[in-house]
Structure 1
Amino acid sequence: MDKEMELRVCCGVVVLDDRERVLLMRRRGEGTWGLPGGGVEVGETWQQAARRECREETGWDIDLHDLLGLYSDPATQTHRYPNGRVIHCVGAIFLATPRGQTGAPDGEAAELGWFALDRLPAPLFAPDVPVLDDAARRHDRPFID
């Protein structure tokens, strides 16, 4: 284990529209495509954090419907950012539908897009790869990794 690794409580959302396309954001700085999500702040529930992160990063308000899964495997949920920071995310990922885009993204995303789960853009944010695989086969949820 990397002694410089930080453990972070995270959440994210798989937002699916009525055509079963997923909302992804291309992360500014590293250029990977991934799900809206981030850290849970003190005093927040998982659900509040997921809604806030989606609204901040994409401008979309969402309705949460179900828990897709809990993700913690260091083999897939550890990421080294361009600045050298290494984060091991332990988090809950929810399934959601878009309610409406009510604001502007906060600038963390360089681009937003809606994609079919079998036609995802590259490169993907590595910790989101198993999540997106699970989202494509939702019949077994919740997934615990």
Structure 2
Amino acid sequence: MISVIQRVSEARVRVAGAVVGEIGPGLLVLLCAERGDGEAQAERLLAKILKLRIFADDAGKMNRSLQDTGGGLLVVSQFTLAADLSGGNRPSFGAAAAPEEGRRLYEFFVERARAAHPRVETGQFAADMQVQLVNDGPVTIPLRVAP
């Protein structure tokens, strides 16, 4: 699974003009399931995200996790993270999981996140979404968990 994690002071997702998910301080996670991924990868990725020490402690050092701060977690599906540009300028998305499997793993990830963290919001799978965020820092971390 591939993710891009952004520490945010706020973030929201709109679909057809309506807000479907919104958080204050926390993490925005763009998430992509790849072919061959399964629940084990989703669980490992979630565990890593929840424990990433990328929030400031009292000394201003990045030493606190999302679980330490109690911040929000906004999870947005984004199959384009699997883009392959090796064949030219038009991306190929053949490495992304098939839509049904991508949806299943996305929903599994969200279900597990909600069981492990008190504040989880989402986008809408396969929708045309507008994502707004204020990147805090900026802190942006790509994270991949291989099958």
**Is the pair's TM-score, using the shorter chain for normalization, greater than 0.5?**
no
Higher relative contact order (CA 8 A, sep 6+): 2
TM-score, normalisation: structure 1: 0.28
TM-score, normalisation: structure 2: 0.28
Greater percentage in strand? 1
Larger Rg: 2
